[in-house]
């Protein structure tokens, strides 16, 4: 299947099933390459819909402590950009699940934008979510993604003016990512009180799927978000299973299996 088809088909299938998609974030090569691959296999086996792979970076400004430490573990294990591409290729040997890179523009720009997108496409990546790249400055990346049919995903924040939402949506493809909280990534005890209203307002201005992330960490929160959005993103709650079990890989995978099963169950909870 072409990379451009996987994301579109996934959201079409979810719409037909009258449910939201579950997007699972983990950092590539955390805590190392082999265990990271097993983590991805475990998540896929539990029924997640999209893997959002964090590309390890030494200065992850949008990430909270959990994901900062995940990137640090990956880099300390010797992870390189080629290892991240290799991880995707390994996943593609057993799964056609949509894969999105959660990355920073310096990692793309430093390798050459067109070359980076080409490598991503060849590995089997479906989309690039570049956290620190404003749509107004993304012409080169958008063009490269369009040429190779790789989704170019942008973020909308609670502080984004309504008139700008339409401009962002016109430049995006695949889906839009709504950051439900100001600040950085991390588990939260509750959701923004006006989440449903904000999502409804955004929907009026866009014509592509909308996923919601940042701070979602329980099955109940997954259920609440799934009622109003096309997709739910969970990251830190899954990533936290790794450092708690570094001394026992089997227990690590069991913890991720249990946590992801419970969270995915929130999609269809009564």
Measured distance CA(255)–CA(243) in Å, rounded: 11
255 vs 238: CA distance, rounded Å: 9
User: Is 143 part of the annotated catalytic residue set?
Assistant: no
Burial (CB count within 10 angstroms: exposed 0-12, middle 13-18, buried 19+), residue 120: buried
Q: Given the residues 63, 90, 126, 230, select the one marked as catalytic.
A: 63
Decide: 98 and 51 in contact? Cβ < 8 Å: yes
Structure tokens that stand for 82 in this block: 């080629």
What residues form DSSP beta bridges with 176? 210
Instruction: Yes or no: say if 182 and 221 are a contact pair by the CB < 8 Å rule.
Output: no
For this structure, is 139 an active site residue? Answer: no
Give per-residue burial for 53-63: e unless 16+ CB within 10 Å, then b.
Answer: bbbbbeebebb
Q: Which is the catalytic residue, given 52, 90, 126, 230?
A: 52
Q: Beta-carbon neighbour count of residue 225 at 10 Å?
A: 27
Residues with a catalytic annotation lie at: 52, 63
């Amino acid at each position: 299947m072409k990379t451009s088809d996987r994301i579109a088909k996934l959201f079409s299938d979810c719409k037909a099933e009258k449910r939201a998609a579950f997007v699972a974030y983990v950092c590539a090569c955390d805590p190392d390459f082999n265990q990271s691959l097993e983590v991805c296999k475990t998540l896929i086996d539990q029924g997640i819909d999209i893997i959002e792979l964090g590309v390890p970076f030494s200065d992850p400004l949008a990430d909270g402590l959990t994901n900062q430490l995940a990137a640090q573990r990956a880099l300390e294990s010797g992870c390189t950009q080629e290892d991240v591409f290799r991880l995707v290729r390994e996943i593609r040997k057993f799964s056609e699940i949509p894969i999105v890179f959660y990355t920073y523009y310096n990692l793309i720009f430093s390798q050459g934008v067109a070359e980076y997108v080409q490598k991503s496409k060849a590995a089997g990546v479906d989309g690039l979510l570049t956290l620190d790249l404003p749509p107004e400055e993304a012409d080169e990346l958008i063009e490269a993604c369009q040429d190779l049919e790789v989704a170019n995903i942008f973020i909308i924040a609670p502080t984004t003016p309504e008139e700008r939402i339409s401009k962002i949506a016109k430049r995006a493809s695949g889906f839009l990512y709504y950051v439900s909280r100001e600040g950085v990534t991390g588990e939260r005890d509750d959701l923004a009180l006006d989440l449903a209203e904000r999502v409804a307002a955004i929907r009026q201005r866009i014509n592509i799927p909308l996923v919601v992330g940042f701070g979602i960490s329980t099955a109940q929160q997954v259920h609440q978000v799934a009622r109003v959005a096309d997709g739910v993103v969970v990251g830190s709650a899954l990533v936290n299973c790794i450092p708690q079990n570094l001394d026992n890989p089997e227990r690590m995978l069991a913890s991720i299996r249990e946590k992801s099963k419970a969270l995915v169950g929130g999609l269809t909870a009564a």
